Amino acid sequence: MAMVCLTDFEEYAKEHLSKATWDYYAAGADECCTRDDNLLAYKRIRLRPRILRDVSVSDTRTTVQGTEISFPVGIAPTAFHCLAWHEGEVATARATEALNTCYITSTYSTCSVEEIAAAAPNGYRWFQLYVYRDRKLSEQIVHRVEGLGYKALVLTVDVPYTGKRRDDIRNQFKLPPHLKVKNFDGVFQQETAGAEEYGIPANTLDPSISWKDVYWLQSITRLPVIIKGILTKEDAELAVEHGVSGIIVSNHGGRQLDGGPASIDALSEIVDTVQGRIEVYLDGGIRTGSDVLKALALGAKCVFIGRPAVWGLAYKGEEGLREVLQILNDEFRLSMALSGCRNVAEINRNLIQFSKL
């Protein structure tokens, strides 16, 4: 079967992954309103294409944090890639290196940060982290990724507690015995008797995390700190005041607070507040090249895909993820051209028709 669009990969993954694994990746919080709205929100946005603009040559390249990537789509941090494909994050690293884009490696990887770096030595990578009750845990991993050449830290700030994902509770989701959160291999051995949540002991995350922890993180690293999980202009302003290097507008794929905005709907107020002082990125709901175009037109510097990356892995590992990225790249290039844009610098808010709802 020809894989023509990202939905084809979604259908393949749903058919071939175990129910518990599919449900884990697909899950949203509570009634999944926000998860679903992440997709629907793009369909409410209309483009205003310009014509007769000589689009015989187009260029999809852009930069993130000063590094050039081949097109403005990276891989968002998602957990447990080995559930989708036996090589897991190693395959993800190779695919993103091959397409020359950014891979945000998850703390909850089923391969270690060392294995990922070794698999794709020339890949451009950021590392996503949480702040743990035991700050030493966070500190150790920061120093590990710094030494391995990861180029930025992405602090996820929307998980003081894990959202209520009904299917995971019904399925009593647990990592299979042959897989583990590789970055913490051996760290929690003494606590294995207690309750476990997504591969590590429950209550490991620190719900007391606050803005002072952003300063703490900056004090222990030379890497730029990017904050993931901002949805309001107030928090965007605070992020800038705290000296972060970027913001990822994100609702965690609709897996945390149900009833918040779709990430694309939160983007404009954040971009207007930040006013170019730092870069703004977005994840959540990207399924087509025109979705990418809409996000860039509304001010995102780059977007990141989560679930579609996992579908690509489920289809054919590294090769499957390459295909997903290539399809998005091709669709984005086509949408750009059909809108009259020859390069990403020509994409701006004049492309967006705000529909009167």
Task: Using the CB atoms, write b or e for 229-244: b if 16+ within 10 Å.
Answer: bbbebebbeebeebeb
> Mean pLDDT, to the nearest integer, of 78-97?
98
Residue-wise pLDDT for 208-259, tens only, equals 999 999 999 999 999 999 999 999 999 999 999 999 999 999 999 999 999 9
Q: Do 119 and 90 contact (CB within 8 A), yes or no?
A: yes
Residue-wise pLDDT for 38-49, tens only, equals 999 999 999 999
**Shortest CA distance to 61 belongs to which of 341, 352, 351?**
341
Residue pointed to by tokens 């990202």: 6
Provide the CB-side half-sphere exposure for 58 (13 A, CA).
Answer: 23
109 DSSP assignment: -
User: Residue 355: its pLDDT value, please?
Assistant: 65
Bind-site residues for glyoxylate: 24, 165, 252, 255
- Beta bridge partners, 353, equal 46
3-state helix, strand, coil in the chain (%, to 5): 45, 15, 40
Indicate if 143 belongs to the active site. no
Confidence of residue 356 (pLDDT cuts 50, 70, 90): low
Bind-site residues for FMN: 77-79, 106, 128, 130, 156, 228, 250, 283-287, 306-307
Residue-wise pLDDT for 94-127, tens only, equals 999 999 999 999 999 999 999 999 999 999 999 9
User: Residue 193: its pLDDT value, please?
Assistant: 56
Contacts of 295 (CB under 8 A, 6+ apart): 264, 267, 282, 286, 303
Cα separation of the two ends of the chain? 39
> Mean pLDDT, to the nearest integer, of 128-143?
95
Provide the CB-side half-sphere exposure for 46 (13 A, CA).
Answer: 6
Contacts of 8 (CB under 8 A, 6+ apart): 1, 2
> Mean pLDDT, to the nearest integer, of 328-350?
98
Does the structural domain 6-188+195-354 have CATH classification 3.20.20.70?
yes
| pTM of the complete model | 0.97
Bind-site residues: 24, 77-79, 106, 128, 130, 156, 165, 228, 250, 252, 255, 283-287, 306-307
